């Protein structure tokens, strides 16, 4: 038990990781009164059970999050899914002696080098300092950074939820929520994971800034927000509209408004070396084009109500918990988190569920701690007073206190955590470019003219997960005529058109050569080679390309110049 200066000692209740309540040192326990605020880390003693519970909850959530995030990297010798574009970016920064390149050579497209570069500088610096290859860093840094977002999220949860048990439940929800890591642990998640980490730290500091207003909070908020902007453009956009939401619900005052404006000015100044050089070189058009890339699906607004916004396998427990949490918040007049979730779905056009994961996990924690657990305990507000009194008696007798209430809540919690851990492990992306594909790409680089143009038939219709098409330009230094990555920086909706062209091209994989040639003529995309994936072990997304293979093999206009079990390459006789 911990005792404060007024002689008040703490024992277990339901609103903290150990269920802390207050009772007077010499009187009867006041166990029906729950403490809504979180345990103060500043005021609690180092050995305080409250403080230990807070750290144990965060540490255990981080451990579970690390298990599901790091497992795919351990299972592969290559970055998970994509990352080829950023792999090229890092090498180009190193080649420029850590100056900022004007253009990228990826896919021989002359892409304006406008991507926020912090993660690429970090990777390049670590590679130069340690001798670890860029490829290995692109494999390991995204999941490692993603692991660090779990304790950062826990800090945010404790600030916004203001109660220990819901905050701890939210941390476990975030650790095991597929949309909180599926697009961050892949190779292409390098800048996004770093951006989310700094964004969470920004939100944590901003909550303190808006409620307490110390100068140190202003400086920390500005620093973290600047690092977010320098990490990822869409995460910066998420942060940009999330901060006003916090202002509206946490610090709606003239003083708080001036603080938030001061943060904005500081961010503009601190990031100006990057955006100033970029705009001077390329103007505003590429930046505006990048923010217009992607398309809005208004049907996505229904995703939370259909339990589709969490990408869970089988039982969508966290989706249900989050909707319950939203209902409970609305019933209590706590509008911040439901409003935040709604705004994310209104304003995001790409990977909406990824950015919705933060308010979703917060709501899921509230739904479980304030909705599910009380229902399991058979009470309106939580475990019964009798159960709490029994816990207090154990505490007075020196017996270790356990979570109060009926045995059903802890058993149910153990079941839910076990199920969510297994489901998150199974949901984690594991596709990586296999060795036969890498060997074929090495052959392309060594055996074809530098200006050669390829159509890549991987059978994966969605460009965002077509790791074969994305890695091909990086490993071969040849042109893939339909790869869309990197083209978001070109004006005129080039990215959206190439995204659609990629899907149309992949549909030819289940047809014959006539489809391929008709596509090339219609899109004015001539090619000299066909890179045909015949199988991708472990990938469920690829289609059956046998018909196209047989058509190419029997055509007098194509020669099979490279062949192995999983991939064939055909050269067009009509192109010298």
Residues 6+ apart with CB under 8 A from 24: 7, 8, 30
User: What pLDDT does residue 27 have?
Assistant: 34
The number of C-alpha atoms within 13 Å of 308 and in the hemisphere containing its C-beta is 10
pLDDT digits (tens, 9 = 90+) for 389-445: 443 443 344 444 444 445 777 888 899 999 999 999 999 999 999 999 999 999 999
CA distances from 259 to 206, 224, 256 (A): 9, 15, 5
CB 468 within 8 A of CB 461: no
SS3 at position 480? strand
Helix or strand (DSSP H, E) at 358:
helix 352-367
Residues 6+ apart with CB under 8 A from 274: 100, 116, 117, 230
Among candidates 345, 211, 233, 243, which has minimal Cα distance to 286? 233
The Cα–Cα gap between 251 and 450 comes to: 58
User: What pLDDT does residue 146 have?
Assistant: 98
pTM of the full structure: 0.86
* Intra-chain end-to-end CA distance of the chain, in Å: 83
User: What pLDDT does residue 520 have?
Assistant: 94
User: What pLDDT does residue 41 have?
Assistant: 44
User: What pLDDT does residue 540 have?
Assistant: 56
User: What pLDDT does residue 162 have?
Assistant: 86
Find residue 560's DSSP bridge partners.
Answer: 570
* Segments of the chain with pLDDT less than 70: 1-50, 294-307, 378-406, 538-543, 576
What does the DSSP 8-state code read for residue 311?
A: -
The domain segmentation of the chain, as residue ranges, is: 52-368, 435-572
What does the DSSP 8-state code read for residue 23?
A: E
User: What pLDDT does residue 536 have?
Assistant: 83
Residues 6+ apart with CB under 8 A from 273: none
User: What pLDDT does residue 36 have?
Assistant: 45
User: What pLDDT does residue 302 have?
Assistant: 66
């Amino acid at each position: 038990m911990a005792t404060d200066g007024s002689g008040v000692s703490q024992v277990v209740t339901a609103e903290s990781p150990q269920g802390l309540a207050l009772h007077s040192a010499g009187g009867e326990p006041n166990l029906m009164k729950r403490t809504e605020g979180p345990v103060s880390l500043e005021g609690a003693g180092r050995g305080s059970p409250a403080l230990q519970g807070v750290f144990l909850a965060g540490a255990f959530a981080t451990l579970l999050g690390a298990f599901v995030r790091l497992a795919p990297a351990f299972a592969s010798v290559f970055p998970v899914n994509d990352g080829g574009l950023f792999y090229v970016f890092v090498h180009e920064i190193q080649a420029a002696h850590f100056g900022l390149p004007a253009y990228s050579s990826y896919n021989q497209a002359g892409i304006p080098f406008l991507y926020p570069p912090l993660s690429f500088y970090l990777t390049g610096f670590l590679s130069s300092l340690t001798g670890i290859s860029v490829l290995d860093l692109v494999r390991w840094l995204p999941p490692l950074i993603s692991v660090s977002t779990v304790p950062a999220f826990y800090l945010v949860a404790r600030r916004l939820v203001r109660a220990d048990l819901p905050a701890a439940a939210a941390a476990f929800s975030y650790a095991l929520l597929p949309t909180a890591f599926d697009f961050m642990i892949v190779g292409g998640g390098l800048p996004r994971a770093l951006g989310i980490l700094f964004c969470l730290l920004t939100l944590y500091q901003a909550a303190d800034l808006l409620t307490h207003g110390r100068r140190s909070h202003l400086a920390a908020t500005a620093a973290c927000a600047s690092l977010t902007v320098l990490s990822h453009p869409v995460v910066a956009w998420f942060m940009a509209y999330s901060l006003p939401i916090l202002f509206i619900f946490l610090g709606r005052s003239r003083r708080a408004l001036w603080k938030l404006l001061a943060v904005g000015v500081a961010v503009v100044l601190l990031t100006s070396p990057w955006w100033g050089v970029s705009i001077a070189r390329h103007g505003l058009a590429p930046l505006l084009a990048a923010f217009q890339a992607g398309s809005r699906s208004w049907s996505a607004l229904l995703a939370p109500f259909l339990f589709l916004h969490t990408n869970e396998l089988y039982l969508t427990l966290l989706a249900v918990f989050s909707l319950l949490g939203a209902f409970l918040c609305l019933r209590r007049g706590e509008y911040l988190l439901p409003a935040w979730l709604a705004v994310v779905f209104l304003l995001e056009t790409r990977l909406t569920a990824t950015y919705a994961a933060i308010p979703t996990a917060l709501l899921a924690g509230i739904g479980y701690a304030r909705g599910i657990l009380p229902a399991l305990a058979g009470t309106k507000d939580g475990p019964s007073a009798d159960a709490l009194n029994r816990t207090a008696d154990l505490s007075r007798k020196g017996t270790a206190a356990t979570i109060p209430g009926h045995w059903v809540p802890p058993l149910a919690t153990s079941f839910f955590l076990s199920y969510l851990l297994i489901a998150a492990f199974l949901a984690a992306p594991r596709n990586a470019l296999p060795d036969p594909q890498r060997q074929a790409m090495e052959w392309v680089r060594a055996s074809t003219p530098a200006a050669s143009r390829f159509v890549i038939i991987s059978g994966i219709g969605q460009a965002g997960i077509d790791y074969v098409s994305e890695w091909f330009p990086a490993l071969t230094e040849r042109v893939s005529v339909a790869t869309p990555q990197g083209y978001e920086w070109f004006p005129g909706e080039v990215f959206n058109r190439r995204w659609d062209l990629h899907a149309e091209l992949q549909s030819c994989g289940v047809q014959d050569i006539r489809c391929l040639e008709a596509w090339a003529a219609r899109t004015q995309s001539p090619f000299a080679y066909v890179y045909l994936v015949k199988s991708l072990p472990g990938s469920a997304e690829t289609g059956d390309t046998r018909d196209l293979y047989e058509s190419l093999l029997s055509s007098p206009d194509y020669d099979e110049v490279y062949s192995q079990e999983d991939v064939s390459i055909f050269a067009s006789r009509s192109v010298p």
